[in-house]
Every structure is written in C-alpha cells, then in structure tokens.
C-alpha cells in the first residue's frame, strides 16, 4: 500500500470515528432530553449527523474510485445544485433551450474538461463561452421581458453551481512536486476544513452566541460563532498539515482563508434565499435542507483555494 492510500484510509477511519462519536453524543442527548422526539433541536442534530454519514460514505467511495469517481460525484452535485438554483429563478418559456443547454451541454462539457485536465479551457469555458452563448440562445426566441434579469440569473447559477463547484475536482489536476498521486487529499483538506468551520460555527454559536453578526441576512449567525468557528477550523486545518504539501503554518493560513471565504459565501447565499423568500434551497439532505445549503461555503472557497495552491505550489 502506498503512502497516499494509507493517508487516505487513516483519514477516512478518523472521520468515521469522529462521526461515530457525534452519533453517540446525539443518541445520548436524545435518550436524556428528547425520548419522545419532541425536542426539535436534538432531532435536527441527529438528522444532520445521519446525513453526514451518507455524505462521508459517498465522498469516501469517490475518493477510493479515484479521479473519475470524484469528477462524477461533483458533476452530480453540480446538477442537483443547479436544479435547486434554477427552480428559484424568474426564467420564462423563452429560456427553455438556454436552460436545457446549461444542464445537458455546459455542465457535462465543464466536467469533461476538468476530467481531461484542460486548465486553459475549463478556467474560461463558463465565464467566456457560456457567458456569450447562453444569452444568444435566449434572445433567438424574441422575448425581451425582464431579459437582463433572466440571463444574469442563469449565468450566475452556472458560475456558482457548475464553474465554482468544478474547482473541487480540478484540484486533482495540480502537479505538486513530491505530492504525486496524493491530490485527492487536497480535496479532503478543503472539504474537512470548510465543513468543520460550518459545524464549529454552529456549535460555538449555540453555546456562546450573543451578538448577531448579520441580523438582516442570517439571524442564526453570531460574532461568537464566527470567531470561535473560524479559529477552531484554522486549528483543524493546521492539524491536518500532514496530509498536505504545506507546512503547519501554511496549512493554518490556507485553512483561515477558506474558512473566511466559506463564511462569506454562506452570507451571500443567505441573502439570495431571503430575496427569493425561502428558508432552504431544497429538501435533498435531511436536516440540512437543500444541497446548496451544504455546498455554499465549499463553492466560494474552492476556486480561491485552487488558485492559491496552483500559484504557490503547482508546476502546471
């Protein structure tokens, strides 16, 4: 067994152990405080932990399957996220072909380009080519009503749900000296830090949260939760330096960056939900809401993390 494999398996065992502990705590809390299932906070906590098991198993299987597994997993995540996003937009009949193209042409091409590691094209395909051709497809139907809003929404949906999300599997294409064959651990680093940041912000907020940080956008977010969550996620990232090409200090700096980006991304997506008058993006993940509710902080941090690592460490 090579080093990358043994690191990955160690990481999966560690994550499994962590979730087992969470499940144990959740079960004890349920038995002591909510035996009849009436405490909604505890019921939601357990629903979230169970959904985490499913997500970790899926990601773990994709990691073991290798590059193709990871690309396919994130292509499906993009599909589900795009579906949630477009459901909330103002599209009209005239956008039908543009939307069909977004789902069945743009999305597969973007992930194909990521799979064949064609950086020169996947980094501009949606910002340039989709950006120009999607409104062309829409305008051919001759419906000008709310045109700018419609095309802007579809482009935004593609950028967030497909372009940004595809930068997670794109981490596999980086060529880092002395790190060959281990890139999948960069994805693990990114996802663990971002998601732990979300979880720890939630925990710190529940325990010590007093001062609301953005009362109009996201009433549950507090300064205490933000500071505590981001600081502890930074420590988690530093503690994971051994799976990365970074030094402990560099790992801490990158973890801090992606935790902050994740937090800000969560705020942006909350503002969109407020604007659209919904609480969650969907109902795909029990206890969490929609897929975008779980993915929002990842999509905002993934491209930044990708580019920092690419410029700082990669040869390509």
**Contact residues for another protein (CB under 8 A)?**
79-80, 82-84, 86-87, 91, 93, 96-97, 99-100, 103-104, 277, 282-284
CB of 44 to another protein, least distance (A): 18
d(CA 282, CA 34): 26
Closer to another protein by Cβ: residue 97 or 242: 97
Nearer to another protein, 105 or 144 (CB): 105
- 245: nearest Cα among 2, 7, 61, 68: 7
Rg (Cα) of the chain, in Å, rounded? 20
Alpha-carbon dihedral sign for residues 222, 225, 226, 228: positive
Nearer to another protein, 146 or 283 (CB): 283
Q: Shortest distance, CB of residue 87 to another protein, whole angstroms?
A: 4
Q: State in angstroms the smallest separation of the CB of 56 from another protein.
A: 22
The token duo for 310 is 């690419």
Nearest to 44 by CA among 56, 26, 28: 26
Residue 77 CB, nearest distance to another protein (Å)?
A: 13
CB of 15 to another protein, least distance (A): 27
- Closest distance of CB 217 from another protein, Å: 20
- By beta-carbon proximity to another protein, the closer residue of 82 and 186 is 82
Residue 84 or 224 with smaller CB distance to another protein: 84
Cβ-based neighbours of 202, under 8 Å, separated by 6 or more: 225, 229
Which residue, 278 or 308, is less far from another protein as judged by CB? Answer: 278
Dihedral (Cα; 306, 52, 284, 297), 10-degree rounding: -30
Minimum distance of another protein from residue 83's CB (angstroms): 4
Where helices occur in the chain by DSSP H, the ranges are 3-33, 40-65, 67-87, 96-101, 107-115, 119-122, 131-139, 147-158, 167-170, 184-208, 223-239, 248-276, 291-313
CB-nearer residue toward another protein: 154 or 251? 154
């Amino acid at each position: 067994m090579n080093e990358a494999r043994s690191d990955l398996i160690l990481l999966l065992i560690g994550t499994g152990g962590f979730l087992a502990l969470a499940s144990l705590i959740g079960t004890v809390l349920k038995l002591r405080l909510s035996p009849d299932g009436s405490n909604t906070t505890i019921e939601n906590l357990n629903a979230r932990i169970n959904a985490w098991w499913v997500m970790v198993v899926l990601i773990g299987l994709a990691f073991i399957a290798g590059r193709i597994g990871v690309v396919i997993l994130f292509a499906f995540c993009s599909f589900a996220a795009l579906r949630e996003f477009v459901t909330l937009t103002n599209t009209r009949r005239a956008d039908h072909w543009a939307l069909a193209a977004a789902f069945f042409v743009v999305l597969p091409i973007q992930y194909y380009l990521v799979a064949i590691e064609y950086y020169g094209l996947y980094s501009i395909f949606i910002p340039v080519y989709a950006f120009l051709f999607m409104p062309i497809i829409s305008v051919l139907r001759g419906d000008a009503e709310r045109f700018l809003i419609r095309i802007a929404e579809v482009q935004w949906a593609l950028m967030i749900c497909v372009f940004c999300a595809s930068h997670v599997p794109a981490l596999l294409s980086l060529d880092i000296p002395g790190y060959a064959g281990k890139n999948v651990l960069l994805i693990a680093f990114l996802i663990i830090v971002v998601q732990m940041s979300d979880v720890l912000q939630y925990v710190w907020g529940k325990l010590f949260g007093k001062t609301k940080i953005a009362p109009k956008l996201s009433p549950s977010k507090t300064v205490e939760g933000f500071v505590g969550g981001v600081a502890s996620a930074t420590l988690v990232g530093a503690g994971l330096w051994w799976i990365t090409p970074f030094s402990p200090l560099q790992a801490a700096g990158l973890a801090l960056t992606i935790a902050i980006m994740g937090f800000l991304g969560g705020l942006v997506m909350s503002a969109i939900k407020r604007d659209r008058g919904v609480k969650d993006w969907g109902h795909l993940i029990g206890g969490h809401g929609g897929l975008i509710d779980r993915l929002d902080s990842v999509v905002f941090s993934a491209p930044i993390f990708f580019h920092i690592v690419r410029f700082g460490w990669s040869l390509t």
